[in-house]
Amino acid sequence: MQKFGLKGDNGFVVIEIIEVYGFPDDTTHLGGYDCRCSINLENEGFKVNDEFYSSTGQMYELMLSLKKLYKDLSGKIIFSNTYEDNLMLEISMDSSYGRISIKGEYFRLSENEISMNFEINSDQSYIPSTINELESIYEIYGGLTGIKN
């Protein structure tokens, strides 16, 4: 399946599409196609391996935002899965040094409140590979309107 990752000096977040619903005929109100994803997150020895729901349209929007961030060498992006609101990423770049901070929170939807707050220190050199991975997802599933339109 398709995946993308955000990597840094002290950790990483890798999101992989496990299953896509409605492809190629039925798009979601969030843009693109509904999908079930796995998340593999590691930060300073703490690890998360879980599943959540998102859309290929949200990944497309992240790709566009990362391209702008990389071009401008400054700014801030917020990425969250709006289905369950259990993943939030804030990616910000310091224009003076090319340093990137990936702050976030992931929590498991269950009876118990289990969550992980994290901050991954990165730099602009990691961004092109993430953009390339997101572009390969876009090539298969298209943008907000999917591949039919």
**How many domains would you assign to the chain?**
1
139 has a pLDDT exceeding 90: yes
Q: Residues for the chain: how many in total?
A: 149
113-122 tens-digit pLDDT = 789 999 999 9
Identify whether 78 is part of a domain: yes
21 has a pLDDT exceeding 70: yes
149 has a pLDDT exceeding 70: no
83-94 tens-digit pLDDT = 778 999 999 998
What DSSP letter does each residue of 37-87 carry, written as one string?
A: EEEEEEETTEEEEEEEEEEHHHHHHHHHHHHHHHHHT-EEEEEE-TTT--E
Instruction: Please tell me the distance from the alpha carbon of residue 4 to that of residue 7, in angstroms, as a whole number.
Output: 10
123: β partners: 99
51-83 tens-digit pLDDT = 999 999 999 999 999 999 999 999 999 999 877
pLDDT-above-90 percentage for the chain: 82
Its domain, for residue 67, covers 3-141
Identify whether 14 is part of a domain: yes
Phi, psi (rounded to 5 degrees) for 118? -150, 160
pLDDT at site 44: 93
Identify whether 146 is part of a domain: no
Degrees to nearest 5, angle at CA 125 with 102 and 81: 35
4 has a pLDDT exceeding 70: yes
* CATH of residue 119: 2.30.31
Identify whether 149 is part of a domain: no
Identify whether 44 is part of a domain: yes
Nearest C-alpha neighbor of 98 from the set 64, 126, 138, 67: 126
Q: What is the mean pLDDT of residues 111-136?
A: 94
pLDDT at site 117: 95
